[in-house]
Amino acid sequence: MTDTGADPDEVLMASAARGEPSAARALIDGKLPRILALARRLLQDAAEAEDVAQETLLRTWRQAPAWRAGGARLDTWMHRVALNLCYDRLRRGREQPTAEPPEQVDPGPAPDRGLNAQDVGRAVETALRALPERQRTAIVLCHYQELGNIEAAALMEVSVEALESLLSRARRSLRAALADARPQA
């Protein structure tokens, strides 16, 4: 397959514009996992993340007839849509009254052993959740979504230097938080 320099999703969006069911399946199979992962990391709520991913795919499908190649890459555009939806939900707040209080999980490690992989994962998620929103977004885009600094900076609408500064501060905060989570000998 030769590289023409065009957006690889140009054909997909043309198929979606024609309403082809195979295009819907290709969008879901190809794009849903990354969009869902982004939303889960930012929102820390699986149900909210699924709603954001579904809305992102729906907006992509609706945008297909108006899609013009040569603008933003489809992946970049979809990440921007998902980020905006996540930001909207974070600003709106996710607290909803429930009939019963949520089940409380003991966050501490077992008394007879150190942190295991699950404990480390929880510590990382807790530390990530404690970061300011822009730092958390930078970490998620660059480390979990594996976007380059240029693309992540464009999505966040900041300069590459500002993104690198956010990443640096976030990494320092994560290191400090995770150092505190290590068991003392």
pLDDT at res. 90: 87
- Yes or no: is domain 8-93 CATH 3.40.50.300? no
Contact (Cβ atoms closer than 8 angstroms) between residue 145 and residue 134? no
Q: Give the residue-averaged pLDDT of 140-146.
A: 89
Q: What is the dihedral of CA 64, 28, 87, 172, to 10 degrees?
A: -130
Residues 56 and 60: their CA atoms lie apart, in Å, by: 6
Q: Give me the pLDDT at residue 101, please.
A: 67
68-122 pLDDT tens trace: 877 778 888 899 999 999 999 888 875 566 667 667 776 665 554 554 667 777 8
Residue range(s) occupied by CATH 1.10.1740.10 in the chain: 8-93
- CA separation for the pair 77, 94 (Å, rounded): 25
What is the H or E stretch that residue 20 is in? none
Residue type, 43: L
Among 121, 127, 164, CA closest to 142: 164
Residue type, 73: R
Q: Is 138 helix (H, G, I), strand (E, B) or coil?
A: helix
Residue 140 has pLDDT above 60, yes or no: yes
Average pLDDT over residues 9-21: 86
pLDDT band at residue 157 using 50, 70 and 90 as cut-offs: very high
* pLDDT interval class at 2 (50, 70, 90): very low
The CB-side HSE value for 105 (13 A sphere, CA atoms) comes to 5
pLDDT of residue 135: 92
User: What is the per-residue pLDDT for 185?
Assistant: 46
Please report the sign of the dihedral spanned by the C-alpha atoms of residue 140, residue 144, residue 148, residue 154.
negative
pLDDT band (50, 70, 90) for residue 48: very high
Which of the four pLDDT bands, split at 50, 70 and 90, describes residue 40?
A: very high
What's the whole-number average pLDDT of the chain? 83
Instruction: Report the pLDDT averaged over residues 59-69.
Output: 85
Question: Using CA atoms, how far apart are residues 20 and 98, in angstroms rounded to an integer?
Answer: 41
* CA dist., res. 88 & res. 75, Å (int): 20
Give the residue ranges of DSSP H helices in the chain.
10-17, 21-43, 46-63, 74-92, 117-130, 133-139, 149-156, 160-181
Class of domain 114-185: mainly alpha
CATH 1.10.10.10 in the chain is located at 114-185
Residue for token pair 């501060």: 169
What predicted TM-score, i.e. pTM, was given to this entire model?
A: 0.61
